[in-house]
Structure 1
Amino acid sequence: MKISAAESVVMEALWRNSPLTSEAIMSEVCAPQDWTEGTVKVLISRLVKKKAVAAKADGRRYLYSPLLSRRDYVQGESQGLLDRLFDGRLAPLVMHFSDGDKLSDEDVAALKALVERIGK
């Protein structure tokens, strides 16, 4: 399932706290994104249509909850990045960051510990 960058902002609000009304979603995302109410409603509608979000009637309003877990979303996006840019391989991604001095000493220590744990 393809979730756009804008849709992911709505999803993040729902992953943090759900169920939420459209008004609650708007209060979380409109100001930081400089979006209108209409924009958020369109994004919610798209997410419902994609079956990433469930809409449950609650009187005269709807409560929205994620059907797609954040973990599954991150896994799909991560794999897509690896596939598109690094032939599906993780090592070239890490090398890319190490070549650009993007890895902190803390990152390097965490990677070493991970490699050691995996190697056992």
Structure 2
Amino acid sequence: MAVSEAEAVVMEVLWHQAPRSAEEILAELGPRQGWQEGTVKSLLNRLLKKKAVAAERDGRRYLYTPLLSREKYVSQESKGLLDRLFGGRVAPLVAHFSEQRKLSKRDVAELKKLLQELDDEH
């Protein structure tokens, strides 16, 4: 399931707290994103069609709940990034980030720890 960048912004709100109405989502995102009610409702409709969210009637409004977990979304996005840009390999990704952004001592320590844990498993 491909979720656009704008749809992911709506999903972040729902992952943080759900269920939420379109009005509640607009109140949170409108000022920050410069979005109007129609934009939020369009994004919610797209997410409904993709089955990333569910809607339940609550009186005269709908309450939206995520069906796609944040963990699954992050996994899909990171796999897509790896496949598209680095041939599915992690090492070139880490090398790219180390060249573009200096890794902190903490980053390096965490990477070393992860590599050691992976090495211990094999």
TM-score bracket, shorter-length normalisation: over 0.9
Which runs of 5 or more residues in structure 1 are unaligned? none
SS in 2 for 1:102: coil
Is the alpha carbon distance of 1:101 and 1:52 closer, same or farther for their aligned partners in structure 2, counting shifts above 3 Å?
closer
Corresponding residue for 2:40? 40
> Is 2:111 the partner of 1:111?
yes
Unaligned runs of at least 5 residues, structure 2: none
Which runs of structure 1 show a deviation greater than 6 angstroms over 4 or more consecutive aligned residues? none
Q: Please give the residue correspondences for 1:57-96 in structure 2 after superposition, counting only pairs within 5 Å.
A: 57-96=57-96
Output the aligned Cα RMSD.
0.8
CA separation of 1:97 and 1:63: change in aligned 2, threshold 3 A: same
Q: Give the Å deviation of 1:101.
A: 4.0
TM-score using structure 2 length:
0.95
Moved more, 100-109 or 60-69: 100-109
SS of structure 2 residue aligned to 1:68: coil
Query: How many residues in Structure 1 have an aligned counterpart in Structure 2?
Result: 120
Give percent identity, aligned residues only: 60
TM-score by length of 1: 0.97
